[in-house]
Amino acid sequence: MPVSTRPLDRLSDFPAIPEGWAYLDTAATAQKPRPVIDAIARGYGETYATVHRGVYQRSADMTRAYEAGRARAAAFIGAPSADEVVFVRGATEGINLVAHGAFGNGDSPYFLRPGDRIMLSMLEHHSNIVPWQMIAERTGAEIDVAPLTGDGRIDLDAMAGMLTERHRIVALAHVSNVLGSVLDARRAADLAHGVGALLLLDGCQAVPRMPVDVAALGCDFYVFSAHKLYGPTGIGVLWGRSELLAAMPPWQGGGAMIDKVSFDGTSYAPPPGRFEAGTPHIVGVLGLHAAIDYVEAIGLDAIAAHEAALVRETRDALRSVNSVRLHGPEDAAGIVSFTMEGVHPHDIGTILDEGKVAIRAGHHCAQPLMAHLGIDATARASFGVYNGRRDVEALARGLERVSRIFG
């Protein structure tokens, strides 16, 4: 069946996208649909109260809504239990929580020691590199980096040959934020578990554009940010297998994460509360809930097919533009990165902006990948449910203008 490249009848849901503006930076942050904006406005304007503390009715109602958001997030990614979902500020905080709380804390059974190893890949976002470097420096562990295949996928065959019983954690992007390449996550989990290591997946670019089932993937930790899922900033999810979370000591101390406090000592709440110190981003959870409802009403399979069609059209259109080099696989998930000979990506982005086309230009928080590609930066177009053929055509026209300007 042919796939339509019209918007999924959803452009009118996004008040921040004016007519004639091609927003192609969804991989950085997605625009917000009206149902999410309305949920946030109601949360602050009509129903706001604290959670888990008040004995009055509104607080009880907000607590139920907040915990319903946790259950919704768990169901969204196939988590067996809502208690396995920890709310964090975003994927970055989720990765740091695992790195510092599990592998960098001497009270954790997963604490790394000299000689232990961490496996990453060449295409990771800085948020899945720097926390592990900090832990390696602190503990004496060492980092290995899986190479890429010729079309920009994590080379699992090579990684299989690199893994040893000294590896304790494998941390990989489910979908590359630069190349759009999709990891064979089930195989990565099998390889990690085959040497006794745990697997963390960075799902920021996966959850907005494909169905995710953590049980089927076989991973041990999964993180994502709401703002890339058409939700608000400042809220995200860390999922971890219940037995792993139960064994982890708290990462931060404060209110809500305790069982009993005295100056003689403190006992801690069970997960997920143990990892949610302080007043949470209450309304952010309501917005996340609304965002999940929104994408599931459309259907993740439909979103994946829609974006795949846009990627194909974009790659075909850009091949006709003089001196454009495409990066990443043909079947990239919702992302097309490219460079133009003799033109810096920042100049491409500036000229496209003059024509009302918004892309990302830079290293995309993936400088090791840029070095591997032999470039400083790329231009990146990334898609959402509000994009259609008109946006691809606007991008192609803009790049033809760039080509003319720079000769």
22-80 confidence digits (pLDDT tens): 999 999 999 999 999 999 999 999 999 999 988 899 999 999 999 999 999 999 999 99
Q: What is the C-alpha separation between 287 and 235, in angstroms, rounded?
A: 9
204 is catalytic: no
Are 78 and 72 contacting, i.e. CB atoms less than 8 angstroms apart? Answer: no
For residue 148, give the amino acid letter.
L
Average pLDDT, the chain: 96
Q: Region 269-287: what's the mean pLDDT? A: 97
255-to-63, 131, 144, 279, 406 alpha-carbon distances in Å: 16, 25, 38, 7, 58
Determine the Cα–Cα distance for residues 27 and 364; give it in Å rounded to an integer: 10
Q: Hey, what long-range contacts does 51-55 have (CB within 8 A, 24 or more apart)?
A: 51/280, 51/282, 52/256, 53/256
- DSSP for 133-158, written as a single string: HHHHHHH--EEEEE-B-TTS-B-HHH
Per-residue pLDDT for 156 more than 70? yes
Rounded to the nearest angstrom, the gap between the alpha carbon of residue 227 and the centroid of all alpha carbons in its chain is 9
- Statement: residue 8 has pLDDT above 90: no
Q: Look at residues 231, 237, 228, 212 and name the one whose alpha carbon lies nearest to residue 26.
A: 228
For the chain, how long is the longest CA-to-CA vector?
Answer: 74
**Lookup result for tokens 């496996």:** 119
What the block records as the tokens of 93 is 């905080």
Could you tell me what percent of the chain has a pLDDT over 70? 98
Question: What does the DSSP 8-state code read for residue 249?
Answer: P
Domains along the chain with CATH numbers: 11-29+299-406 (3.90.1150.10), 36-296 (3.40.640.10)
Measured distance CA(199)–CA(154) in Å, rounded:
14
Strands (E), 301-406: 324-327, 335-340, 357-358, 360-362, 378-382
Strand order, beta sheet including 236-240: 85-88, 236-240, 221-225, 198-202, 167-173, 117-121, 142-146
Task: Give the model's pLDDT for residue 5.
Answer: 43
Mean pLDDT of 115-143: 98
Distance separating alpha carbons of residues 203 and 120, to the nearest angstrom: 15
What does the angle CA 70 – CA 181 – CA 293 come to, to the nearest 5 degrees? 25
Cβ–Cβ under 8 Å, residues 200 and 220: yes
Mean pLDDT score, 121-137? 98
Name the least confident of 3-17, 81-95, 118-132, 299-313: 3-17
C-alpha dist (Å) from residue 235 to 48, 221, 227, 231, 288: 17, 17, 8, 9, 8
SS3 221: strand
Using 50, 70 and 90 to split pLDDT, how confident is the model at 10?
confident
Say yes or no to pLDDT of 355 above 80. yes
pLDDT at 2: 36
Q: Residues for the chain: how many in total?
A: 407
Predicted local confidence at residue 1, as pLDDT: 31
What does the pLDDT read at residue 282? Answer: 98
Ramachandran assignment for 339, one of left (phi > 0), alpha (psi -120 to 50 degrees), beta (any other): beta
**Catalytic residue from among 37, 269, 365, 370:** 365
Strand partners for 236: 88, 225
Question: Does residue 322 carry a pLDDT above 90?
Answer: no
Q: What's the confidence (pLDDT) of residue 72?
A: 98
Average pLDDT estimate for 327-348:
97
